[in-house]
Structure 1
């Protein structure tokens, strides 16, 4: 898929793309055609012959970075063509997680029905017990004793809280531990994903649609972003290491110095997210084989680039939530003019009344917190 101008601006800002620098881009055609080869000395000499001494070093750095990313494009294509590699790029939520999501979407679900489903997911049990034994909840419970039984913890939380907690805890587990050199990515993707989920839930409530499904669709739409950044960083690290070893063998001091300076490229990562992220999110969620929730259909439409007017009701809600949050974040960072913001909001029918409702909604934290 290709991003709209708003989405492209938002992702570039999310990652930290410098608008004043030439942007390296992922090219699938190049990735399919590129053959691995060492940098040719003749290419370097031809380039340096056209440059003054003052520009030669900078030009050589650009050349080296571009060459690295020719190789990275091929490595990423191989990685992201494998659903096994994609799945292993995220925390394993366990085979019981999809059934729990389905159960939470049912209108008549009870805590007795949820207890065995939650108890069968070790990481979720740990997170829930950690929450219920935190000072904030201990004061509400009115007991000095730690809660050790998840069934007791569920009774204190209630179903409505669990409908927010379960997907949010799952998403949080999937955030990479390290995204260096893009150190702000972890925080920003969390803030954005939570904000869109809360906004989508609010819009669904206003329009009379399933708020839990809207919340989950908005939250899990960025799973692919995390898969892409992890595999890009792994690919770049491996390709760079291979080139460093070749340079060491050739005793190429200039190339060794250049490789030492270079780091992963924000523009290339942005275009990789544009190329792969939405499709990966849809594929991952489809593998959950949910029986009650139409998450796969919503994310398929998002990956296909379905126009707002042509989408299902819940797809349109997701597009509205995305637009509102992207506009809000860009305005806060002074990266978007107000007249452009209004135009983008109007395109997805976020008119004055809905804009007011969303503006009065706290998009930074869950309501029960």
Structure 2
């Protein structure tokens, strides 16, 4: 049985990781730290007259601030209702948030199917122009080709696949599709894309290592680790789009009802990372499940594992592949939080223990390169 206190701590740490995906400063601020305050402190005290003026100004602002808080809370209630409706609609997710070629699911299945050969991959990749180009470019550069090599470059797709081998082909195309799914912009959270990519690569590599350790399908584990958090990326994209959509609609309603005071407050509302982090925590796993359920994969069947994550199944109750993902993502989150100095030793012990990450598993995961995909020689 899982310790309820351990589960609670793990939940806090996972939420903190969501904060960190948005920005370092926001994650620190939620813990009560401020970098500017740590770097400099003012020793100047307010003069009595300044203090009195400040108190008077605060009293005048109090009523206005209470009204702003009320309007903001009402707005976000409606925003989250809107988000829930969109998350429940897989057609919206696939038409507005995640558009891709119909060959992509076939590619995923080919990576998981043992019988898929080089010619099969060649046929699928050839029908995805951007992947065809990226694949050939990749195998003509390190680590597949020495930087100063004078050998002729491989230009033919079929030869390129045979040159690197099927195992490497699978890793290359999966990573390139995952990169293709990254959002073009996450303004104003410009560090999100880089840290998200760092996280999913680390999780994919750890999943692959643990699958080998537990004697499970390494490619499926790698695929699951690489794409399990796609809902996080899509949830952020959805939130950033929905914010103005809902805000503008409410502003129009306020003016229609003669409430210019409400319209003014709504017009001044800015994106709040506190609400975004809550939205990511609430909707990420739901969206990931919707994506894999809609894909209807035949061989790369991972929807049941993502569903177990969505349903917050305890580690002991989860299937072996879900346990692999749980341990891989937990270790990856721990290492990223540790690097950012946002997790204490006692928290880390509880966080890892909650997912049965003992010395043997840590020994396996310490073998993993968390930043780069390791290809076969």
Q: TM-score range by the shorter chain?
A: 0.7 to 0.9
Higher mean C-alpha displacement, 184-193 vs 59-68: 59-68
Task: Please report how far the alpha carbon of residue 212 of structure 1 lies from its aligned counterpart in structure 2 after TM superposition.
Answer: 0.8
Task: Please report how far the alpha carbon of residue 336 of structure 1 lies from its aligned counterpart in structure 2 after TM superposition.
Answer: 1.2
Tell me which residue corresponds to 1:223.
230
C-alpha separation in 2, matches of 1:227 and 1:186:
12
Are 1:19 and 2:15 matched, yes or no?
no
Higher mean C-alpha displacement, 211-220 vs 288-297: 288-297
C-alpha separation in 2, matches of 1:144 and 1:251:
72
Tell me which residue corresponds to 1:357.
364
Task: Please report how far the alpha carbon of residue 318 of structure 1 lies from its aligned counterpart in structure 2 after TM superposition.
Answer: 0.5
Matched residue SS, 1:4? helix
Task: Give matches, 1:1-369, under 5 Å.
Answer: 4-15=11-22, 16-17=26-27, 18-19=29-30, 52-134=59-141, 139=146, 142=149, 147-244=154-251, 252=260, 256=264, 258-259=265-266, 261-368=268-375
1:198–1:366 CA contact under 8 A, matched in 2: yes
TM-score (norm 2): 0.80
C-alpha separation in 1, matches of 2:289 and 2:375:
29
1:278–1:302 CA contact under 8 A, matched in 2: yes
1:91–1:173 CA contact under 8 A, matched in 2: no
1:204–1:210 CA contact under 8 A, matched in 2: yes
1:138–1:144 CA contact under 8 A, matched in 2: no
C-alpha separation in 2, matches of 1:223 and 1:147:
32
Task: Report the aligned-residue RMSD.
Answer: 2.8
Task: Please report how far the alpha carbon of residue 57 of structure 1 lies from its aligned counterpart in structure 2 after TM superposition.
Answer: 4.6
C-alpha separation in 1, matches of 2:340 and 2:366:
17
Q: Which runs of 5+ in 2 are unaligned?
A: 1-7, 33-57
Per-residue Cα deviation, 1:297-352 (whole angstroms, up to 9, x for no partner): 11111111111111111111000011111111111112111122122212222212
Task: Please report how far the alpha carbon of residue 106 of structure 1 lies from its aligned counterpart in structure 2 after TM superposition.
Answer: 2.9
C-alpha separation in 1, matches of 2:286 and 2:308:
10
C-alpha separation in 2, matches of 1:20 and 1:138:
46
Residues paired across the two proteins, number: 338
2:211–2:218 CA contact under 8 A, matched in 1: yes
Q: Which runs of 5+ in 1 are unaligned?
A: 22-50
Distance 1:253 1:64, change over 3 A: closer
Higher mean C-alpha displacement, 195-204 vs 222-231: 222-231
Task: Please report how far the alpha carbon of residue 73 of structure 1 lies from its aligned counterpart in structure 2 after TM superposition.
Answer: 1.9
Task: Please report how far the alpha carbon of residue 71 of structure 1 lies from its aligned counterpart in structure 2 after TM superposition.
Answer: 2.6
Higher mean C-alpha displacement, 147-156 vs 243-252: 243-252
Matched residue SS, 2:271? coil
1:93–1:170 CA contact under 8 A, matched in 2: no
Tell me which residue corresponds to 1:48.
none
